[in-house]
């Protein structure tokens, strides 16, 4: 592809991005509804300092659970396998390097503080989620298949230590049959005393 064609493609992309931003701003002014989650990631991405220069274009942003959002509101799809294996958490700072050859290289550069919680894997509206703490957290399909998790399994997920989150990163999976076996063994290890109450065996 000739250089002038590349420049034309880049101009078209920038024009489309600008039009989308204008349309979103107009929609917000009419409806008064803003995507607060997206705005949070854009704000975090804008506050990140630039890294040392490298060959190619460098973009910094915040992981939203599925994509990287930069300070201008542009979205860059993060490979699901990379996000799953790296256990990226919503809000993690990231750097995307687009090399001169057109290769996209993602790197986690500013992980946020995390906490862990345990829930149950469910399927809702055609999507896998972890039901924990009275909330259904979305998880990447690649993570579910990577850990070979099934609906009903107990799953440990990583969440941001502070603030709200819609996505969780799968940390470990306790298969349903193992969880049930452990619960059964726990009950079997108890015996009834004279008044019918269960008590641990001595």
Residue 110 confidence class, pLDDT cut points 50, 70, 90: very high
pTM: 0.64
| Residues 152-183 pLDDT 10s | 999 999 999 998 999 999 999 988 777 666 66
Q: Which residues are within 8 A (CB) of 116 and not within 5 positions of it... i.e. 6 or more apart? A: 156, 157, 158, 159, 171
Out of 1.10.600, 2.40.10, 2.40.50, 2.70.98, the CATH code matching 35-110 is 2.40.50
Query: Domain residue spans in the chain?
Result: 1-29, 35-110, 114-184
Residue 42 confidence class, pLDDT cut points 50, 70, 90: low
What topology does CATH give the domain 114-184? Answer: OB fold (Dihydrolipoamide Acetyltransferase, E2P) (2.40.50)
More confident residue, 130 or 39: 130
Give the whole-angstrom CA distance, residue 172 versus residue 183: 18
């Amino acid at each position: 592809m000739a250089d002038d064609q590349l420049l034309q493609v880049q101009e078209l992309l920038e024009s489309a991005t600008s039009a989308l931003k204008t349309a979103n701003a107009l929609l917000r002014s009419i409806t008064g509804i803003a995507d607060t989650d997206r705005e949070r990631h854009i704000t975090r991405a804008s506050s990140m300092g630039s890294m040392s220069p490298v060959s190619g274009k460098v973009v910094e942003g915040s992981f939203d659970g599925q994509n990287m959002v930069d300070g201008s509101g542009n979205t860059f799809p993060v490979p699901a396998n990379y996000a799953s294996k790296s256990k990226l958490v919503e809000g993690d700072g990231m750097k995307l390097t687009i090399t001169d050859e057109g290769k996209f290289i993602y790197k986690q550069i500013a992980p946020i503080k995390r906490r862990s919680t345990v829930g149950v894997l469910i399927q809702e509206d055609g999507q896998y989620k972890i039901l924990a703490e009275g909330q259904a957290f979305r998880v990447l399909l690649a993570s579910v298949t990577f850990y070979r998790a099934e609906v009903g399994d107990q799953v440990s997920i990583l969440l941001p230590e502070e603030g709200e989150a819609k996505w969780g990163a799968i940390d470990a999976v306790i298969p349903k049959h193992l969880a049930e076996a452990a619960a059964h063994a726990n009950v079997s290890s108890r015996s009834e005393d004279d008044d019918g109450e269960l008590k641990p065996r001595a």
